[in-house]
Structure 1
Amino acid sequence: MLNRLKIGTKIGAAFALGIGLFAALSVVAYEGMNELIDRSKWQTHTYAVLGELKELSVGVSSAEAGQRGYVITGQGTYLEPFTASRQQIRETLQELRRLTADNQNQQRRLDTLDPLLTERLEMMQSVINVRQQRGLTAAQEQVRTNQGKRMTDNIRAVLGEMEAEEYRLLNDRSKAAEAATRQTFDSITYGVPLYATLLALIGYLLSRHISRPLQEISIVTEEVGNGNLTVSVPPSDRRDEIGTLGSTFNQMITSLRDTTRKNEEQTWLQSNLAEFSNLLQGQRQQETVAQLILSRLAPLVGAQQGVFYLMSVNSESPVLKLLSTYAYRERKHLSNQFQLGEGLVGQCALEKQRILLTDVPGDYIRIQSGLGSAPPLNIVVLPVLFEQQVVAVIEFASLDAFSDQHLLLLDRVSNTLGVVLNSIAANSLTSELLQQSQALTEELQAQQDELHESNRRLEEQTEALRSSEALLKEQQEELQQTNEELQQLNEELEEKADLLTLQKRQVEQKNQEIELARQELEEKAAQLALSSKYKSEFLANMSHELRTPLNSLLILARLLSQNTDGNLTDKQVDYSRTIYSAGTDLLDLINDILDLARIESGMLSIEPEPVDFTELRAYLDRNFREVAQDKHLDFLIHLDSNLPTTLTTDPKRLQQILKNLLANAFKFTEHGGVTLTIAPTSHSSLPTSQIAFAVSDTGIGISADKQQIIFEAFQQADGTTSRKYGGTGLGLSISRELAQLLGGSITLASELEGGSTFTLYLPTQQNPSAVDKIDSAFLLQPSAPAHLPTAALPAPYPLPNDLNDDRDALQPGDRSLLIIEDDVNFVRILAEMARQQGFKVLVALRSSTGLALAQQFNPDAIMLDIRLPDLDGWAVLDRLKHDPATRHIPVHILSIDDAQQRGLQRGAIAYLQKPVSADALDQALVDIKDFLDRQVKTLLIVEDDIVQAQSIRDLIGEGDVETTIVGSGTDTLAALSRNRFDCVVLDLGLPDMSGFDLIEQIKAEAGNASPPIIIYTGKELTRQEETQLRRLAETIIVKDVRSPERLLDETALFLHRVQANLPAPKRQILEELHHTDSVLAHRKVLIVDDDVRNIFALTSLLEGYDMDVVYAENGRDGLSVLQANADVDAVLMDVMMPELDGYETTRAIRQQPQFKSLPIIALTAKAMQGDREKCLEAGASDYITKPVDTEQLLSLLRVWLYR
Structure 2
Amino acid sequence: MYKNAALDNQEFRRILSRNIAIPLAVGLVSAVLFVCVILYLLSVLGWVEHTDRVISRATEIQKLSVDQETSMRGFVISGDESFLGPYEIAKPKMKVSSANLREFVSDNPVQVERLDRISALQAQWDVYALDIITQRRSGKDVAEIVRSGRGKRVTDAIRNEFDDFIGSEEQLRMERSQSASTVTKVTVIVYLLFSLGVAAMLAWLGRRELLGLSSSYGAAMARQAEHGEYLQGQAWLRDGQSQLSEILAGQQSLHAAGRNVLEFMARYLGAAVGAVYVQQEAGVFKRVATYGFAGESGNWGHSFAPEQSLINESAAQRKIMSLENVPPEYIRVTSGLGQGAPISLLLAPFANDGDVNGVIELGFSRPLQTRDQELLKLLSGNIGASVQAAGYRQRLQDVLKETQQLNEELQVQQEELRTANEELEEQSRALKESQTNLQNQQAELEQTNEQLSEQASQLEQQRDVLDQRNAALHTAQEELEKRSDEVQRASRYKSEFLANMSHELRTPLNSSLILSKLLAENPIGNLTPEQVKFSESIYSAGNDLLNLINDILDISKVEAGKLEVRPETASLPRMVGGLQQLFEPLTTDKKLQFRVELAPGLPDTLFTDRQRLEQILKNLLSNAVKFTDTGSVLFKVSRQDAGLAFEVTDSGIGIDAAQQQAIFEAFHQADGSTSRRFGGTGLGLSISRTLAGLLGGSISVDSTPGQGSTFTLLLPLMYDASRATTAPSAMPAPFAAPLPPPPAPPPKVRAQRQAPSVADDRGVPAPAGRRSVLVIEDEPQFSQILYDLA
Q: Which interval holds the TM-score relative to the shorter structure?
A: 0.3 to 0.5
Question: Rg larger in 1 or in 2?
Answer: 1
Per the normalisation by structure 2, the TM-score is: 0.35
Which has the larger share of helix?
2
- Which structure exhibits the higher relative contact order, with contacts defined as CA atoms closer than 8 Å and separated by 6 or more residues? 2
